[in-house]
Structure 1
């Protein structure tokens, strides 16, 4: 029977990355068998009977049966496809399937990964009438952990479907889950996982991944062979595309080398072949229509065009090309592919568009040869911002599941997504932290044996119902303690064998006592009283603590002699007396602002220099220690992005710091339109402020000796001079650290809500990434014009608010409307991407300030180069090779893509890597 052309699955929505912590390991021999091979590869044949691995003929890769990877080894049922669909070219993994007629969600767990590494995940499907029912179409959802990947839509019994994504995995395992949506029984044929270098596909990061639309190898001399491992060390599948009617194939037998620091590492076997137009006066052209998805009506795309000169050209021959999308050039200048060296044209910032797309690869006027192209990859952008249940809770609940052999709907992540949370679990969902398990009802569940100690490891749980089981023994001490301190309501009635003796099991009487003593006490202050108290506090706080109107001194903390550091005594900065400061500030008249230390006053020195004088208030919550710390720091740091100290005062009981006056106030005021000129900042001004601020933090982290962590990065601590140049201020909470250590342990949590790094909050271990996180929040404020904590319509963080809007593709709904559209939309996307990297859930995923500075400078250069009206920009990355790397930016949201609908190629895996001749594709001219 003739085989139909292979067809690639149409993606139906965005892929969200699994953010799960380490789960309880599978025991003994099963975990050993589940290890990746020497390449780090995991290859699974779903539905294969037995436990023995086998080696694929073409790739020599070891392939495992799927039982050992299932969350429940008894889940699903195995089947062979019908004999009529077994063809000689069909890969062995398509012979069998595992279907899941029972349960809402069924999952595979792939373990022994490297946290923070980038992986290619591939799922394979072929219906082949395995159930003998000819029931088509079949539709179900595919998840990676808590996050939606795509809708699997099977409409042809013979056509295999391949789904592939590139994602960053934050933990040491990842789950792939099939979810029954009522439109057919979920099934799967195979599952692959391949590690990638962290430098590859930079568009895939902690907050976004790439979902493959197509990957094509142009000019292959064998239209039935797909290039993969070992020719591609990363085992990507490069399917051939040839059309002899309009294209000539050119090739070389010589090895093609990747340029240094290549971002894609296209394999030599692929880059050895290329196509050129048969009519040398013509261009290479593609036409396609974007295909909206139900959950993503305007998907964002990234396209990568791979180029390499495969012919050694005569000295007088020139091959120079340009890329045109919908009559708009990608670059300002033409480019020439280099002989036997890879190069790529690609868009760094994901873009979207509407209507038909026409891509043309043209020869420039300087060229004597026609254009060429070697390969293409097209990805849609998928959000990877969601996180799974907190790791400690995952480990604990998996321990409970294993102890009691729970057969409920306990697959995948316990709490996420909300619609698929485990039966009988109650979870809390905070906007800035992972979900936590808060309640567990296991009544009437047939539980036998002792109460598992794993219950005690559910630190956030508030209620546990174990009534009507066959539990025995006594209550674990950890639960007893929770009952006694009132943090846990434990119910355990109707367990006949559970110890109830008052002497040996005193906790048995606690249930009744607790039920009578549960009382929530709420103290409510009338709003008017609160307002009065706050108003009085502000007035008292900001009253000068120097002299009252009668001239008498007020009480204040006086530093001891040994508290005055020698560095202050040796300062070159001017030391002021109290009388001098009183004269400078005109008897302390004009308040510039107020903070934790005290109020800041405007002053003018004898030479006319304007200064800001920060006076310590006696009611300040920052005392002598913080004052001395800031003075010491300011005495030794010097950078044009830090507010310099002009002098200081320690005069008896009076303390003050004197700074350079910053006439434009702080950044927070300007974001809200409350700056001195009452005007809102432009996008270019915001970018420059971001760069200068980042440079200041970079200096603290890398240029100081010892280096410093600021600990309170926020808009009010970024001051602006008359030219709106940003400078970091307020170093009273800064902390020095040893470069040899990766963190500083602290006893007290300091900082400002909305800007605090959750990892610092959880561990009390301070790192430079804590400043990076806070700065990421500031970047989002610059983009959106909104505060760190948004309270309308309900409280949420700016991070969560921005992600929710961007998941719907609503970039215009994110950008501050006061910029009136005067910005390069791609620059906006890039800054948001940087912000999301900075605010990654774990610090290991976040960039250093050095990287942040470099990326923001690129954004500023792009803005300065293009202006808001320029369509595309040509950029190169530095390399020791003459071949540049090309990045295409689109200023107004038009997609630089070769989307799924444009490449209606049918992709499938076959034995020996062979596929049928492709007879479909873009409209070629």
Structure 2
């Protein structure tokens, strides 16, 4: 049971999944990635044929198990890559992470597979292969293989791989490859070599693998020792050693060959693109001529072609062929041709889409920071959100037609995480575009230096808001500074149970609102400290932001962002310019709900506002809604207790949080 395959794919550098390598100019091995999958950790060796260095895959993937193929299947002619594999029995998707493609460059990927009964089951598996977020092909090891970075378990055996290679090619080569279309190799043949040999690097500088093909019963072999160069501006840069051999028709005046379509569950009617490479290898006298036509499934592809003398040229299809289960190529001599047709090499590719959009790059960076920070290894492989069926466990993703998928929530509850939250994650949490659930991780805090100080604070409240704790350093104002900021408390914006709210202007021109606790306020120092502590430590795009506070000479005040359009109550009562449209009302309701959802579900334990009403929903200049007035906020206890700890029912009747009312 020796099942091995060499296959490659060509893609443009718009997808993700591989290291940035040089893609312009004539390539050499400095841009190559050559991986022996399953080779001993940190090992490397030089391939005896290509002289390329192959390295262990331990630096490119952190899951899987190494195995050797069974001894009875070892052939003395095998390369080392065929002697061992890495298999992935425990994951739905297993991906090699090689970095990022350089935009605008083209790349050749190749994977090798040798089952060799490495698992003793005598049953080759079937699994899917992906390049980043794009399906490539179903790998059925009872036949030929394909190429990909991610191996996806389809329930028909354990995925495995023997080798993985990446090669940059010139951006001008293979013009059918673009940002939305890639090519999967179906067959690549070198016609008529006198010796049975595989041609690859260094004879082919891009390390394409050319397999010999000759049929002595039907074809006559032709060869030359002269160098065969390509025509100026060639899109394929054929190796001279490949073009130095060819076949012509022996008996009839035509060369015939075919291939069968290989449909998959993603591409039931695959499209194929064919490249035929020609060069005249004989010095013809004035009376001799070689001309021929090319047809595919009986349809004329090229009506009259004459190969160039000792110069390679290519006839290729620009659009894929569809609709057949079998494709037949016929190269037939023209009526006035004195010589039979000739062909030197050929390539056939199936066409696949590379148009699937990966998850937003900033979101990927943030979640990768979590994975690296806490050594998460479970099923967090490949793209976090795409494809949907393989989205990472614990993530909530949103999918829009015109933009990349976004990560909306991350749940790392109960993973025994410890240490600090990566700083790259804080911005998304602060602006409210990301929700992080991280309960049952008692040793997790917002940075290494704050872990001890967090434990000394109110454990019930701070545990729920540890993530953004150090995101902002809030300013402590003096009473004298507040008088300057508010122009001696000249302009009153509003009045509430806490006291008056005054308009202010910071030194940098930022408009603020200063809430000053009055002596007659029915709220006291406890409510003041609750609101200050809460707003200092939670940040969401739909919750008002605190810039600082004052506790000086008996003065207590909060300085927070000014919402220029006032409260929702003011708008609904007709105060200020204009009234709210139905769409604006819906958006305000949605944004207010998002702020409450953050308090109720993203914080651990949950926070309940206890006074949600139109007067406590403030509006920005563009009518963005933000929840304010947190003086009556309470937190649910830990240890699974859903009862709110409070001795009295406080807040405005009719506006109390349902969670609070129903559980007290």
**Normalising TM by the smaller chain, what interval?**
0.5 to 0.7
| Change in 2 beyond 3 A, CA 1:287/1:152 | closer
Structure 1 residue 323 corresponds to structure 2 residue 294: yes
Structure 1 residue 46 corresponds to structure 2 residue 37: yes
Aligned match of 2:69 in 65, 81, 85? 81
Structure 1 residue 176 corresponds to structure 2 residue 149: yes
Within a 5 Å distance, the mapping from 1:428-467 to structure 2 comes to 428-458=398-428, 461-467=433-439
Equivalents in 2 of 1:341, 1:370: separation in Å?
18
Deviations 1:848-896 (A, max 9, x none): xxxxxxxxxxxxxxxxxxxxxxxxxxxxxxxxxxxxxxxxxxxxxxxxx
| Match in the other structure for 2:125 | 138
Equivalents in 2 of 1:516, 1:338: separation in Å?
70
Equivalents in 2 of 1:219, 1:22: separation in Å?
37
Aligned match of 1:256 in 215, 218, 228? 228
| Change in 2 beyond 3 A, CA 1:312/1:505 | farther
TM-score, normalised with respect to structure 1: 0.48
Aligned match of 1:470 in 408, 430, 442? 442
Equivalents in 1 of 2:12, 2:237: separation in Å?
24
Deviations 1:815-853 (A, max 9, x none): xxxxxxxxxxxxxxxxxxxxxxxxxxxxxxxxxxxxxxx
Aligned match of 2:214 in 232, 242, 261? 242
**Residue 520 of structure 1: how far off its partner (Å):** 10
Query: Would the aligned equivalents of 2:261 and 2:324 in 1 still touch at CA under 8 Å?
Result: yes
Query: Would the aligned equivalents of 1:17 and 1:385 in 2 still touch at CA under 8 Å?
Result: no
**Residue 5 of structure 1: how far off its partner (Å):** 9.2
**Residue 275 of structure 1: how far off its partner (Å):** 0.4
Equivalents in 2 of 1:221, 1:460: separation in Å?
68
Deviations 1:715-738 (A, max 9, x none): xxxxxxxxxxxxxxxxxxxxxxxx
Which structure dedicates a bigger proportion of its chain to strand? Answer: 2
Equivalents in 2 of 1:265, 1:516: separation in Å?
58
Query: Would the aligned equivalents of 2:446 and 2:466 in 1 still touch at CA under 8 Å?
Result: no
| Match in the other structure for 2:112 | 124
| Change in 2 beyond 3 A, CA 1:47/1:474 | closer
Which structure dedicates a bigger proportion of its chain to helix? Answer: 1
Query: Would the aligned equivalents of 2:279 and 2:310 in 1 still touch at CA under 8 Å?
Result: yes
| Change in 2 beyond 3 A, CA 1:368/1:417 | same
Within a 5 Å distance, the mapping from 1:279-428 to structure 2 comes to 279=251, 281-332=252-303, 334-428=304-398
Q: Which stretch of the first structure deviates more once superposed, 338-347 or 442-451?
A: 442-451
3-state SS of 2:96 partner: strand
Bigger radius of gyration among the two: 2
Equivalents in 2 of 1:415, 1:525: separation in Å?
35
| Match in the other structure for 2:54 | 63
Within a 5 Å distance, the mapping from 1:578-597 to structure 2 comes to none
Structure 1 residue 98 corresponds to structure 2 residue 86: yes
| Change in 2 beyond 3 A, CA 1:195/1:178 | same
Query: Would the aligned equivalents of 2:43 and 2:55 in 1 still touch at CA under 8 Å?
Result: yes
Query: Would the aligned equivalents of 1:436 and 1:460 in 2 still touch at CA under 8 Å?
Result: no
Query: Would the aligned equivalents of 1:140 and 1:153 in 2 still touch at CA under 8 Å?
Result: yes
Equivalents in 2 of 1:22, 1:5: separation in Å?
26
Structure 1: give runs of 5+ residues left out of the alignment.
27-35, 165-174, 478-489, 528-925
3-state SS of 1:127 partner: coil
Equivalents in 1 of 2:78, 2:394: separation in Å?
44
Within a 5 Å distance, the mapping from 1:357-756 to structure 2 comes to 357-458=327-428, 461-471=433-443, 473-474=445-446, 492-493=463-464, 507-508=533-534
TM-score, normalised with respect to structure 2: 0.65
Equivalents in 2 of 1:234, 1:515: separation in Å?
50
Structure 1 residue 163 corresponds to structure 2 residue 146: yes
Structure 1 residue 204 corresponds to structure 2 residue 191: no
Structure 1 residue 107 corresponds to structure 2 residue 85: no
3-state SS of 1:109 partner: coil
Query: Would the aligned equivalents of 2:191 and 2:246 in 1 still touch at CA under 8 Å?
Result: yes
3-state SS of 1:330 partner: strand
| Match in the other structure for 2:642 | none
Equivalents in 1 of 2:309, 2:376: separation in Å?
61
Query: Would the aligned equivalents of 1:437 and 1:460 in 2 still touch at CA under 8 Å?
Result: no
**Residue 512 of structure 1: how far off its partner (Å):** 9.5
**Residue 419 of structure 1: how far off its partner (Å):** 1.3
Query: Would the aligned equivalents of 1:20 and 1:391 in 2 still touch at CA under 8 Å?
Result: no
Query: Would the aligned equivalents of 2:11 and 2:108 in 1 still touch at CA under 8 Å?
Result: no
Equivalents in 1 of 2:541, 2:105: separation in Å?
49
**Residue 115 of structure 1: how far off its partner (Å):** 2.8
| Match in the other structure for 1:270 | 242
**Residue 505 of structure 1: how far off its partner (Å):** 12
Equivalents in 2 of 1:492, 1:20: separation in Å?
40
Equivalents in 1 of 2:213, 2:378: separation in Å?
48
**Residue 456 of structure 1: how far off its partner (Å):** 1.4
| Change in 2 beyond 3 A, CA 1:300/1:439 | same
**Residue 327 of structure 1: how far off its partner (Å):** 2.9
Query: Would the aligned equivalents of 1:475 and 1:507 in 2 still touch at CA under 8 Å?
Result: no
Structure 2: give runs of 5+ residues left out of the alignment.
21-26, 450-460, 471-525, 545-566, 573-578, 584-664
Query: Would the aligned equivalents of 1:226 and 1:239 in 2 still touch at CA under 8 Å?
Result: yes
Query: Would the aligned equivalents of 1:16 and 1:383 in 2 still touch at CA under 8 Å?
Result: no
Equivalents in 2 of 1:261, 1:284: separation in Å?
28
Query: Would the aligned equivalents of 1:323 and 1:362 in 2 still touch at CA under 8 Å?
Result: yes
Equivalents in 2 of 1:275, 1:439: separation in Å?
61
**Residue 509 of structure 1: how far off its partner (Å):** 6.8
Query: Would the aligned equivalents of 1:442 and 1:465 in 2 still touch at CA under 8 Å?
Result: yes
**Residue 451 of structure 1: how far off its partner (Å):** 2.8
**Residue 510 of structure 1: how far off its partner (Å):** 7.0
Deviations 1:37-82 (A, max 9, x none): 8431111000000313211011000111000011x2xx11101000
| Change in 2 beyond 3 A, CA 1:320/1:15 | closer
Query: Would the aligned equivalents of 1:19 and 1:387 in 2 still touch at CA under 8 Å?
Result: no
Equivalents in 2 of 1:525, 1:132: separation in Å?
69
| Change in 2 beyond 3 A, CA 1:56/1:326 | same
| Match in the other structure for 1:194 | 167
Equivalents in 1 of 2:166, 2:33: separation in Å?
5
Query: Would the aligned equivalents of 1:17 and 1:383 in 2 still touch at CA under 8 Å?
Result: no
Structure 1 residue 216 corresponds to structure 2 residue 186: no
| Change in 2 beyond 3 A, CA 1:437/1:56 | same
**Residue 8 of structure 1: how far off its partner (Å):** 6.9
Equivalents in 2 of 1:294, 1:321: separation in Å?
38
Query: Would the aligned equivalents of 1:81 and 1:97 in 2 still touch at CA under 8 Å?
Result: yes
| Change in 2 beyond 3 A, CA 1:252/1:21 | closer
Q: C-alpha root-mean-square deviation of aligned residues, in Å?
A: 3.7
Deviations 1:308-342 (A, max 9, x none): 0011111211011111223332134x121011101
**Residue 17 of structure 1: how far off its partner (Å):** 7.8
| Change in 2 beyond 3 A, CA 1:455/1:154 | same
Query: Would the aligned equivalents of 1:122 and 1:162 in 2 still touch at CA under 8 Å?
Result: no
Query: Would the aligned equivalents of 2:275 and 2:347 in 1 still touch at CA under 8 Å?
Result: yes
Aligned length: 477
**Relative contact order: is structure 1 or structure 2 higher (C-alpha 8 Å, sep ≥ 6)?**
1
Equivalents in 1 of 2:37, 2:395: separation in Å?
30
| Change in 2 beyond 3 A, CA 1:419/1:327 | closer
Deviations 1:147-178 (A, max 9, x none): 1111111237xxxx5524xxxxxxxxxx8111
